[in-house]
Amino acid sequence: LTAEMIRDQALAASGLLSEKLGGPPVFPPQPPGIWKTVYSGAKWKTSEGPDRYRRAVYTYWRRTAGYPMMLTFDAPTRDACKVRRITTNTPLQALVTLNDPAFFELASALADRMEKGGGTLADKIERGYRVLLLTPPSETTLRELTSVYETARKVYQSDATLCRQVAPTPDQAALVLVANTLLNMDRAMVR
């Protein structure tokens, strides 16, 4: 998937995607200190409300300082016309989707979406998988994701400070980790 598609897919799966069309550019969340312009001293002010969740095509972009997440996923730098994109696969891409505040926020929203339907843990995991990939998980995948959940829950139960950084309860925090895992699966990034 292209950089824009990866962001838009995560927005759609989380249920936060804004369908608003047109209008001025928006400033989605990004890590502090990343966007520093050399000449103007302009500051990145993260958009509020639904604008925060608009499609990637509306993201503010300077030729000299593009949106870092998209640059990491091979978006053109826009300093020259490109006929086609060269696609790479680097460890930096995984670091972005695992640690970027915007992706963590989307994983939290996806976990909420998985939780709202109720049911067993398997039902919740399957719901998240289907929302993202439009197909049910295999038994092996479901077993592995359940194992991720159980391991994370034990960690969060033993470390309340760590748990509070993610979600109010160990169960919710573990589900956020599963949602983050879903967003980072190869099938979610490549197809």
**Are 62 and 44 within 8 A, CB to CB?**
no
Predicted confidence at residue 40, as pLDDT, reads 67
| 48, two tokens | 């509020």
90-107: per-residue pLDDT in tens?
888 888 888 888 899 999
Instruction: Average the pLDDT over 127-146 and give the result.
Output: 96
Predicted confidence at residue 20, as pLDDT, reads 92
Burial of 99 by CB count in 10 Å (0-12 exposed, 13-18 middle, 19+ buried)?
Answer: exposed
| 17, two tokens | 């995607």
Instruction: Please provide the size of the chain in residues.
Output: 191
Q: ∠ at Cα 50 (123, 103), nearest 5°?
A: 55
* Global pTM value: 0.89
Predicted confidence at residue 39, as pLDDT, reads 58
Q: Is the pLDDT of residue 190 over 90?
A: no
3-62: per-residue pLDDT in tens?
889 999 999 999 999 999 999 999 888 877 777 665 567 778 889 999 999 999 898 887
